[in-house]
Amino acid sequence: MGKKTVIHIQDLFFSYEENPVLQQLDFSIQEGDLLALVGPNGSGKTTLLKILLGILSPKAGRVLLDNKPLQSYAPKERAKHIAYVSQQPALNFPLTAFELVALGRYPHSGRFKAAKPDAAAVNEALKLTETIHLRERKFSTLSGGEKQKVLISRALAQSARILLLDEPTLHLDLYHQIQILKILKELCVERSAIVVAVLHELNLVSLYADKVAMLRRGIIHAFGPVREVLNETNIKEVFGVAMAAREESESGARYFIPRDRLA
Amino acid sequence: MKRILLGWIVISCSLLIAFILALSIGPVWISFLDMSETDKLILFSLRLPRSLSAFFVGGGLALAGAIFQGLFRNPLADSYLLGISSGASLGAAAAIVLGLASPLANFTAVSLFSFLGALSALCLVFYFGRKNGEFSVFRLLLAGLGVGLFFSSIVAVFLLMAQEELKALLFFFLGGFATSSWDTTWVSLACVPIGVLVACTFARELNVLLLGEETATSSGVRAGRIQALYAILAAFLTSVSVSLAGLIGFVGLIVPHIIRIIFGADHRTLFPLTFFAGGVFLVLCDTIARIVMEPSELPVGIVTSLVGVPLFLYLLCKETSDYGL
């Protein structure tokens, strides 16, 4: 393969007070990977994202970014490597899409530096998500799908290689769910970006993710290429739901349907 | 960009007009071209310090409002509604009642206690306004309302117990610039501009924080530090204003809101424009307060409330759907 490993997670442990939230986490992420974090609510997915963001520090074990501990990066330096798209924030202020995406340039701009080259980067980020035509619109007037694309543009404007997303397809219609995943996939394929996303829609995970980390009660239940990990047994063990795997005859794409709906 | 330039021109012109009106109108009409010795005395030792006080207090309150709104990501936040002003007035009143400071002889001490009062109100609002690490619009305003009412009630108790300090205390309740002189005005001249500079310096970080603490942290902003800085700064501006002019509501709500509608939400332009517009607004309100019931004066807080409350209610109706109330 020869793909470069960018993130190493070594024997990671995290707890809120006395309650362990994540333990024995041990895996690595290579460039070009689209990694889906999958698991029931409360399984530690969001906590793992926050640790990868440097918002939370591991209680034991470590996270290495380019072989250096994540904690050793200054906030602005870290922001040049890792960008984040949270679940949609409530924005009560009249920012335009352009202004919002421009906020992503923060780590690249000094307090008194001219903003000229930044405008190019912002436009570029808007083009990547096909939202350039929305640039002068107020963010609060956009539809849910448009908002999400603009928020992803903001993270792209940060020019980071690694993109972390917390449920990027939440509350979106089918068209926008697929569009968002296509955009993320393209970033991985064309720009060797790393995308780590918390996702719930297993069929979309099956179609778009390269690798899957299945979490259950703070432990990685299974990790690896999507074809190997996303199967009936693991889904049953992690989610407690009996799903039947089917394969689409022409493309071989695998999808899942609840067993009790099968005749 | 053009719009912002135009904004600055409009604000400069209105600043000039506001001061001309404030300095010339009153029981004695003063013409700048032909002044008697009495006119000069009235102008330089009464109206000028008073107008400057009104300007810096108005600017300070408006800026504090804009900061609180950005900090809590809540367009309905303001020192008065969040109870921070009440905290400041309690601090000042306590200092006076306990005999630690007198408003005339020891104004710096009054300001200091007022700042401590504002900080304690802020801590309470931070504590009660937060749930699961998030400030909801609704919860924050309720917490502010509660804290404000509680602190104001204590001031009322002081008021009833007080004998000779009664007048000084009543002032913190009603608010106004009737007692302004150079002795107190210099505090606002010294403190408020520093506050404006600090607020403008970190405006970019506060912009990023509009997207939430986690997103801001992930963009490289030291969120905790910036939030603490702005919270303390807003409490500071509030306490300077309250110790100079008592409780004046709604300046911090209306002014930033209007500026934001016209010029957008970028704090780098919002803060300086809001400061100047707030100053102009209060100078005009104070002029109205002086002349409308001559020879007696209306507390300026009443004028700002009469203008501000209808607007607040309007905002509540119009925008609650966007803010998830």
Cβ separation B73–A93 shorter than 8 A: yes
pLDDT digits (tens, 9 = 90+) for A186-229: 999 999 999 999 999 999 999 999 999 999 999 999 999 999 99
The whole-angstrom separation of Cα B21 and Cα B25 is 6
Cβ separation B220–A164 shorter than 8 A: no
Residues of B in contact with A76 (CB under 8 A): 220
pLDDT digits (tens, 9 = 90+) for A48-88: 999 999 889 999 999 999 999 999 999 999 999 999 999 88
Nearest CA among B147, B141, B152, B149 for reference residue B316: B141
Q: Dihedral angle at the C-alpha atoms of B125, B130, B136, B140, nearest 10 degrees?
A: -10
What whole-number percentage of chain B has pLDDT above 90? 58
Alpha-carbon distance B276 to nearest alpha carbon in chain A (angstroms):
21
The whole-angstrom separation of Cα A115 and Cα A117 is 6
pLDDT digits (tens, 9 = 90+) for B180-211: 888 889 989 999 999 999 999 999 999 999 99
Alpha-carbon distance A175 to nearest alpha carbon in chain B (angstroms):
25
Instruction: For residue B74, give the nearest of A50, A92, A95 by CB distance.
Output: A92
Is residue B166 predicted with pLDDT exceeding 90? no
**Is the distance from CB of B129 to CB of B122 less than 8 angstroms?**
no
Main-chain dihedrals φ then ψ at residue A5, nearest 5 degrees: -80, 130
pLDDT digits (tens, 9 = 90+) for B252-267: 998 999 899 889 899 9
The whole-angstrom separation of Cα A215 and Cα A169 is 19
Q: Give the pLDDT confidence score for residue B229 in this predicted structure.
A: 97
Q: Which DSSP helix (H) or strand (E) runs through B115?
A: helix B107-128
Alpha-carbon distance B21 to nearest alpha carbon in chain A (angstroms):
34
- Residue to mutate among A49, A84, A108, A171, with most B CBs inside 10 A, is A84
Nearest CA among B125, B98, B120 for reference residue B109: B98
pLDDT digits (tens, 9 = 90+) for A84-100: 999 888 788 889 999 99
- The 10 Å Cβ neighbour count of residue A223 is 17
Q: Would you call A115 an interface residue with chain B, using a CB distance cutoff of 8 Å? A: no
Alpha-carbon distance B43 to nearest alpha carbon in chain A (angstroms):
41
Q: Give the pLDDT confidence score for residue B324 in this predicted structure.
A: 40
**What's the distance, CA A219 to chain centroid?**
19
Cα–Cα separations (whole angstroms), residue A116 to A16, A110, A137, B2: 44, 12, 21, 17
- In chain B, whose CA is at the least distance from the CA of A75? B220
- CATH code, residues B49-319: 1.10.3470.10
- Least trusted range by pLDDT, from B124-128, B143-147, B149-153, B313-317: B313-317
Instruction: For residue A92, give the nearest of B75, B215, B218 by CB distance.
Output: B75
Is the predicted ipTM greater than 0.95, yes or no?
no
Q: Give the pLDDT confidence score for residue B141 in this predicted structure.
A: 87
Interval B245-254 mean pLDDT: 90
Q: Would you call A116 an interface residue with chain B, using a CB distance cutoff of 8 Å? A: no
Nearest CA among B190, B196, B85, B70 for reference residue B135: B70
Number of domains into which chain A is organized? 1
Cβ separation B215–A86 shorter than 8 A: yes
Q: What is the pTM of this model?
A: 0.92
Q: Find the helix packing angle between B267-291 and B2-24, rounded to 10°.
A: 20
Q: Would you call B264 an interface residue with chain A, using a CB distance cutoff of 8 Å? A: yes
Q: Give the pLDDT confidence score for residue A235 in this predicted structure.
A: 95
- Least trusted range by pLDDT, from A229-233, B11-15, B17-21, B36-40: B36-40
Nearest CA among B172, B131, B127, B125 for reference residue B147: B125
pLDDT digits (tens, 9 = 90+) for B73-126: 988 899 999 999 999 999 988 888 887 766 666 778 888 999 999 999 999 999
Domain containing residue A200: CATH number: 3.40.50.300
- In chain A, whose CA is at the least distance from the CA of B217? A55
* Burial tier of A35 (Cβ tally within 10 Å: 0-12, 13-18, 19+): buried
Neighbour order of strands in the sheet with A34-38: A82-85, A162-166, A194-198, A34-38, A211-216, A219-225
The whole-angstrom separation of Cα B182 and Cα B41 is 13
The whole-angstrom separation of Cα B69 and Cα B73 is 5
Alpha-carbon distance A53 to nearest alpha carbon in chain B (angstroms):
6
Q: Would you call A147 an interface residue with chain B, using a CB distance cutoff of 8 Å? A: no
Contacts by residues B310-315 (CB-CB < 8 Å, ≥ 24 positions apart):
B311/B250, B311/B253, B311/B254, B311/B257, B312/B76, B312/B250, B312/B253, B312/B254, B315/B75, B315/B76, B315/B257
Interval A120-146 mean pLDDT: 94
Cβ separation A86–B214 shorter than 8 A: yes
Q: What number of C-beta contacts closer than 8 Å exist between A and B?
A: 89
Cβ separation B73–A75 shorter than 8 A: no
Q: Domain range for residue A245?
A: 5-261
